[in-house]
């Protein structure tokens, strides 16, 4: 029976994060703070006997992965970076100011920002609003993101033996979508840079057992 424990880490702070810009499939380097966050996360995870490590194919996730690995006493086997684990695609809004983006997305509603939209309309409707507002028609919907997560779990299951402990470095809105799908209230509870969530994967179930945990040094 498959029993895989996946430690899901959000990458460290990036330049675009620090500017409060939409960062999905566009990429930017880790800041000095982001590098420190990744190292702190690695130190926090030193006692976990990882068998495998995987990440998104975006550079900020790979950078974070490598900094975490630099702190681990035993090196897990590396699964090739996989685009399945990329951040949510924001289409036309990629790289734009985040508050301004959400004001634009919300203009057909009575609300003014992402958190208000999620609180009052739910996460699936919020993602649909961005998709509908996107002039490029490329912003991913909630169902598309969940489908990617489901494919990602297949990727991990196929790469690992029946029992394994895996480190996965990925992205904030991607993780948040999984948490929402698992019934966690994510309003005002976005995964922090370097935060850790834990998923248990078996043949029959996917269960998020902890979400958005941070190290004492964050």
Which sequence positions are flagged as catalytic? 11, 87
| Count of CB atoms situated within 10 Å of the CB of 144 | 14
15 in a labelled binding site: yes
14 in a labelled binding site: yes
Residue 7, Cβ density class (10 Å: 0-12 exposed, 13-18 middle, ≥19 buried): buried
Residue 40, Cβ density class (10 Å: 0-12 exposed, 13-18 middle, ≥19 buried): buried
Q: Concatenated DSSP letters for 106-123?
A: GGGSS--SHHHHHHHH-H
Closest CA to 130 of 193, 177, 170: 177
Beta bridge partners of 135: none
Beta bridge partners of 197: 8
11 in a labelled binding site: yes
17 in a labelled binding site: yes
> How many whole angstroms separate alpha carbon 92 and alpha carbon 146?
21
120 in a labelled binding site: no
74 in a labelled binding site: no
> How many whole angstroms separate alpha carbon 129 and alpha carbon 123?
10
Q: Which residues are annotated as a binding site?
A: 10-17, 60
Q: Which residues are annotated as a binding site for substrate?
A: 10-17, 60
């Amino acid at each position: 029976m498959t029993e895989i424990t996946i430690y899901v880490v959000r990458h460290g702070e990036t330049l675009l994060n620090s500017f409060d810009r939409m960062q999905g499939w566009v990429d930017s380097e880790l800041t000095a703070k982001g590098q420190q966050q990744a190292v702190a996360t690695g130190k926090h995870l030193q006692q976990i006997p990882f068998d495998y490590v995987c990440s998104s194919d975006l550079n900020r996730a790979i950078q974070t992965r490598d900094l975490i690995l630099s702190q681990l006493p035993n090196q897990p086997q590396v699964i090739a970076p996989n685009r399945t684990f990329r951040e949510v695609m924001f289409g036309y809004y990629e790289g734009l100011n985040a508050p301004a983006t959400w004001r634009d997305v919300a203009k057909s509603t009575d609300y003014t920002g992402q958190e208000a939209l999620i609180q009052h309309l739910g996460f699936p409707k919020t993602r649909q609003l961005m998709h509908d507002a996107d002039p490029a028609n490329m912003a991913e919907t909630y169902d598309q993101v969940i489908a990617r997560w489901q494919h990602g779990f297949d990727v991990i299951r196929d790469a690992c033996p029946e029992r394994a402990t895996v480190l996965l470095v990925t992205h904030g809105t991607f993780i948040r979508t999984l948490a929402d799908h698992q019934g966690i209230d994510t309003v005002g509870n976005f995964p922090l840079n370097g935060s850790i969530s834990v998923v248990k994967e078996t043949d029959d179930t996917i269960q998020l057992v902890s979400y958005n945990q941070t190290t004492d040094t964050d």
